[in-house]
């Protein structure tokens, strides 16, 4: 049975469109169930009727003609009750309805299963039999399994249809929304440019060559190597103005892979054994990819994609196909199955409006770069039929992690307006930059910025950040090939501290694990978010922790604007051990003759356990910073990087708001300031609530900082508190969103709020 099921799903998956997919389903399911009729009815959302879309056994002329409302017939009953129905004598059922067009009267037995995708009833799958036949439990279960599996495939085919206008008869191109993960904030409306892998390595066959041909084949491969090297260097140069040399190390990784000691050498050796260059390349690349992918680690699978990308580029030259020649429209939205930093670099300056990657998460290289460069980006758009969107209009909502294909005029206008408002705000930055973030009734709240790459620093300064609330030190670690040395770290940290001096810079100690890991320090775990993460890793490796904190302390000599922040603390003992190590590092640095003050130390509250320990933790440190990204994920048990549960991930959930209020209250009772550095702080609507809760500062990405400042400067603390009081009495996040949106609209402040946030 399992084999049959798999085969059918595979065949349906490779169908060219919805009609073909449905045709395969009815044919194969009828066969597998040894029945006389199999039909699929799909729910047409406009007419709210189940329409016969495909059948084997009934009169095919009835396709597209016969339909029934949810309160009509057995099909309607299955669809509306969302349950299977198994009847030996169908005509005796009170809901039985006869359709002459289908020639149905001859069929006595009926087995129907609803087709449901993400809670939405898409249609009904039906089996019928002439003789009276009691379908047994196993058959019923098979049909239910089949329809559950097919739901996703049908949804995918339907989405493709609505994108290209090839869906059901009479249905043209439709606006469709796809959910992904927020990669980089901001809104963009533009034209999709799909970057397909330039050459398909997987289909390259093996081919033996004569001894006499080997030299020529080696020369061919060598010239491909040269060409790809030259491309990489050129790309790296083009990004030189936006990225530090260190950060462009991403491209150096490519160059290193091409070396004789790595991939380049392996291919050469295989060619020498008598394999043609393309076949040798395929073998070497697929060996590496398999090895990386088996490691089941977010960062290393990314490395697998780097190797694939290199392989495709080399193959492109070997096949003399060169690169896909793409034209980039004025407002390009780059779409790819797996975006690479190199693809980003190929778009001519000023044309890149947004990006979409089907694979990857908010911590992929591309997302980190996109945030630093301020390009709205959606990652993990797994349901988007990406290869079909080339040339069509897209809305990218990088803040909410949504993509809208073929937007209708209204939504398009709203997003264009939002993008324009964001643009105007950026243009008017000079004025806003100099102004303090102060409410209309005089409450001052500093806005800080989150950084990682050097590019973030430049943007933060343009936007008037009053300090760094979170410098993610794992970012410079991620783009290296080994742990950076104390000296290297010192130089990187010094750059951050100097850039903001005398403003404070909060440096977080290495927070790896979860979905952030290092190529040279793989962590393979079943459940990484509940595993070896953040402070747990560095306390187990005091040599890494000591070296890092020493580098931070040395970097701040003469500046003294450093603050140290500890991630993922879940108990007092971890804090005490960390404090002990930091004091040791401080002693060592002073023993080396350097005069540096002991910096303020803070702890992140991002694990639920820490919420309940706020008072105890706060009593031992100088400040508290809430990591609302992880806190939301752990409180709600919703993976922040899983688009399937993205709808459930909500920092305005009452449980999260309760936790935040409690943290502020308890920290203040201990006389310690509290900041917040998760994405929530950069959402203007949420920032109003955080202000009212009493947060002493908000830290966010540079892109959102002007938006938050603009809004907070126009609201009074009094109004914010009233709104918070109202919100704290609400028990559902949806109502909270609506309440906040409405309040802002009534104040005339709904500008700069994403249209789709106004649910
Ligand atoms: C957080 O968890 O909210 C946070 C700021 O840290 P990160 O996103 O780096 O885990
Ligand atoms: Mg975190």
- Using one digit for the tens of pLDDT, what is the confidence trace for 696-721? 999 999 989 999 999 999 999 999 99
d(CA 87, CA 100): 20
d(CA 228, CA 311): 10
Cα dihedral 708, 713, 715, 720, rounded to 10, equals 50
How buried is residue 411: exposed, middle or buried, by Cβ count under 10 Å (0-12/13-18/19+)?
middle
Q: How confident is the model at residue 404 (pLDDT cuts 50, 70, 90)?
A: very high
Tokens 């609507």 sit at which residue?
685
> For residue 39, what are the β-bridge partners?
55, 126
DSSP 599: P
How buried is residue 560: exposed, middle or buried, by Cβ count under 10 Å (0-12/13-18/19+)?
middle
**516 CB under 6 A from ligand 1?**
no
**508 CB under 6 A from ligand 1?**
no
DSSP string, 649-695: --TTSHHHHHHHHHHHHHHHHTT--EEE-SGGGGSHHHHHHHHHHT-
Q: Is the pLDDT of residue 260 over 80?
A: no
- Rounded to an integer, the average pLDDT of 690-696 is 98
pLDDT at position 197 is 64
d(CA 254, CA 516): 20
**677 CB under 6 A from ligand 1?**
yes
d(CA 230, CA 724): 57
pLDDT at position 46 is 82
Q: In what order do the strands lie in the sheet with 352-357?
A: 176-179, 402-405, 393-397, 187-194, 332-336, 352-357, 377-379, 181-184
End-to-end CA distance of the chain: 44
Instruction: Provide the token pair at 636.
Output: 């709600």
Instruction: Provide the token pair at 297.
Output: 């680690």
pTM of the predicted model as reported, rounded to 2 decimal places: 0.80
In which residue ranges of the chain is CATH 1.10.274.10 found?
Answer: 201-318
Q: Which ligand is nearest to the CA of 675?
A: 1
Specify the CATH architecture of the domain 201-318.
Answer: Orthogonal Bundle (1.10)
Q: How confident is the model at residue 322 (pLDDT cuts 50, 70, 90)?
A: very low
Instruction: Provide the token pair at 377.
Output: 């980006």
The residue contributing the CA closest to ligand 1 atom 10 is 630
> Over the stretch 665-689, which tens digit does the pLDDT of each residue have?
999 999 999 999 999 999 999 999 9
- Encode 378-402 in three state secondary structure: EECCCCCCHHHCCCCEEEEECCCCE
Length of the chain: 759
> Over the stretch 554-563, which tens digit does the pLDDT of each residue have?
999 999 999 9
Catalytic residue among 117, 156, 288, 365: 365
d(CA 189, CA 354): 8
Q: Give CATH for domain 176-196+325-419.
A: 3.50.30.10
How does strand 85-87 pair with strand 67-68?
A: unpaired
% of the chain at pLDDT higher than 90: 59
CATH 1.10.1760.20 fits 2-160, yes or no: no
- Contact 145/4 with Cβ under 8 angstroms? no
pLDDT at position 323 is 45
The residue contributing the CA closest to ligand 1 atom 8 is 629
How far, in whole angstroms, is CA 176 from its chain's centroid? 18
Q: Is 48 helix (H, G, I), strand (E, B) or coil?
A: coil
Q: How confident is the model at residue 13 (pLDDT cuts 50, 70, 90)?
A: confident
In which residue ranges of the chain is CATH 3.30.450.40 found?
Answer: 2-160
Out of 1.20.1630.10, 3.40.50.720, 3.30.230.70, 3.20.20.60, the CATH code matching 428-732 is: 3.20.20.60
Q: How confident is the model at residue 169 (pLDDT cuts 50, 70, 90)?
A: very low
pLDDT at position 99 is 80
In which residue ranges of the chain is CATH 3.20.20.60 found?
Answer: 428-732
391 vs 239: which has the higher pLDDT: 391
d(CA 176, CA 52): 23
Q: Which ligand is nearest to the CA of 628?
A: 1
Q: Which long-range contacts (CB under 8 A, 24 or more apart) does 412-415 make?
A: 412/189, 414/755, 415/187, 415/188, 415/189, 415/755
Q: How far is the CA of 679 from the centre of ligand 1 (A)?
A: 8
The residue contributing the CA closest to ligand 1 atom 3 is 627
Q: Is the pLDDT of residue 168 over 80?
A: no
Catalytic residue among 117, 653, 677, 737: 677
35: alpha, beta or left? (left if phi > 0; alpha if psi -120 to 50): beta
| Residue of 677, 679, 683, 686 with the most ligand 1 atoms within 8 Å of its CB, for mutation | 677
Instruction: Provide the token pair at 431.
Output: 């004025």
| Residue of 514, 678, 682 with the most ligand 1 atoms within 8 Å of its CB, for mutation | 678
In which residue ranges of the chain is CATH 3.50.30.10 found?
Answer: 176-196+325-419
**606 CB under 6 A from ligand 1?**
yes
> Over the stretch 595-635, which tens digit does the pLDDT of each residue have?
999 999 999 999 999 999 999 999 999 999 999 999 999 99
**678 CB under 6 A from ligand 1?**
yes
> Over the stretch 201-257, which tens digit does the pLDDT of each residue have?
876 777 778 888 899 889 889 988 998 888 888 888 877 776 777 777 767 777 888
CA atoms within 13 A on the CB side of 285: 23
């Amino acid at each position: 049975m399992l084999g049959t099921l798999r085969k059918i799903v595979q065949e349906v998956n490779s169908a060219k469109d919805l009609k073909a997919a449905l045709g395969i389903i009815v044919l194969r399911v009828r066969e597998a169930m040894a029945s006389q009729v199999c039909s699929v009815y799909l729910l047409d959302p406009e007419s709210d009727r189940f329409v016969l879309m495909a059948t084997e056994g009934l009169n095919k002329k009835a396709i597209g003609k016969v339909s029934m409302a949810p309160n009509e017939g057995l099909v309607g009953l299955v669809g509306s009750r969302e349950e299977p129905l198994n009847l030996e004598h169908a005509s005796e059922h009170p809901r039985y309805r006869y359709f002459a067009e289908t020639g149905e009267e001859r069929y006595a037995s009926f087995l129907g299963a609803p087709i449901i995708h993400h809670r939405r009833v898409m249609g009904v799958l039906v089996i019928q039999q002439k003789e009276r036949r009691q379908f047994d439990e196993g058959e019923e279960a098979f049909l239910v399994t089949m329809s559950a599996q097919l739901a996703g495939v049908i949804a995918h085919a339907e989405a493709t249809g609505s994108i290209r206008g090839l869906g059901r008869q009479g249905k043209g191109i439709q606006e469709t929304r796809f959910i992904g993960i927020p990669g980089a904030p901001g809104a963009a409306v533009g034209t999709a440019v799909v970057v397909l892998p330039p050459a398909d390595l997987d289909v390259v066959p093996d081919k033996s060559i004569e001894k006499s041909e080997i030299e020529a084949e080696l020369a061919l491969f060598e010239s491909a190597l040269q060409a790809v090297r030259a491309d990489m260097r050129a790309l790296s140069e083009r990004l030189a103005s936006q990225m530090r040399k260190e950060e462009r190390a991403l491209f150096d990784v490519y160059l290193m892979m091409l070396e004789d000691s790595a991939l380049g050498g392996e291919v050469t050796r295989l060619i020498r054994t008598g394999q043609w260059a393309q076949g040798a390349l395929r073998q070497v690349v697929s060996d590496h990819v398999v090895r990386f992918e088996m490691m089941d680690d977010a960062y290393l699978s990314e490395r697998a994609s780097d190797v694939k990308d290199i392989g495709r580029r080399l193959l492109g030259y070997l096949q003399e196909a060169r690169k896909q020649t793409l034209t980039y429209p004025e407002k390009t939205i780059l779409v790819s199955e797996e975006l690479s930093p190199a693809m980003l670099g190929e778009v001519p300056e000023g044309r890149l409006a947004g990006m979409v990657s089907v694979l990857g998460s908010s911590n992929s290289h591309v997302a980190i770069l996109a945030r630093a460069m301020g390009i709205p980006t959606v990652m993990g758009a797994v349901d988007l039929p990406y290869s079909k969107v080339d040339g069509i209009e897209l809305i990218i909502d990088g803040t909410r992690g949504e993509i809208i294909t073929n937007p209708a005029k209204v939504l398009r206008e709203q997003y264009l307006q939002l993008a324009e408002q964001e643009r105007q705000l950026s243009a008017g930055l000079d004025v806003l930059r100099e102004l303090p973030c102060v409410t209309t009734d005089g409450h001052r709240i500093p806005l800080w910025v989150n950084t990682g790459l050097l590019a973030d620093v430049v943007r933060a300064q343009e936007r008037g950040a009053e300090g760094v609330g979170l410098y993610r030190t794992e970012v410079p670690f991620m783009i290296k090939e080994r742990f950076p040395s104390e000296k290297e770290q010192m130089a990187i940290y010094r750059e951050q501290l100097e850039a903001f001096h005398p403003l404070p810079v909060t440096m977080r100690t290495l927070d790896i694990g979860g979905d952030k890991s290092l190529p040279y320090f793989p962590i393979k775990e079943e459940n990484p978010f509940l595993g070896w993460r953040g402070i747990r890793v560095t306390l187990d490796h005091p040599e890494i922790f000591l070296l890092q904190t020493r580098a931070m302390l040395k970097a701040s000599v003469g500046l003294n604007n450093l603050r140290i922040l500890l991630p993922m603390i879940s108990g007092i003992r971890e804090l005490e051990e960390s404090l002990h190590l930091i004091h040791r590092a401080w002693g060592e640095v002073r023993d080396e003759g350097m005069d540096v003050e002991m910096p303020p130390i803070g702890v992140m509250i991002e694990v639920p356990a820490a919420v309940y320990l706020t008072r105890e933790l706060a009593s031992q440190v100088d400040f508290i910073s809430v990591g609302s990204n992880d806190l939301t994920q752990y409180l709600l048990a919703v993976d922040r990087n899983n688009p399937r549960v993205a709808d459930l991930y909500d920092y305005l959930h009452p449980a999260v708001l309760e936790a935040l209020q409690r943290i502020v209250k308890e920290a203040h009772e201990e006389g310690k300031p509290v900041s917040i550095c998760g994405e929530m702080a950069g959402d203007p609507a949420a920032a109003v609530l955080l202000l009212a809760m009493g947060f002493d500062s908000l830290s966010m990405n540079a892109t959102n900082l002007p938006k938050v400042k603009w809004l907070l400067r126009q609201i009074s603390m009094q109004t914010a508190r009233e709104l918070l009081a109202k919100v704290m009495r609400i028990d559902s996040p949806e109502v909270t969103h609506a309440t906040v949106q409405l309040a802002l609209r009534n104040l005339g402040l709904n500008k700069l709020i994403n249209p789709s946030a106004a649910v």
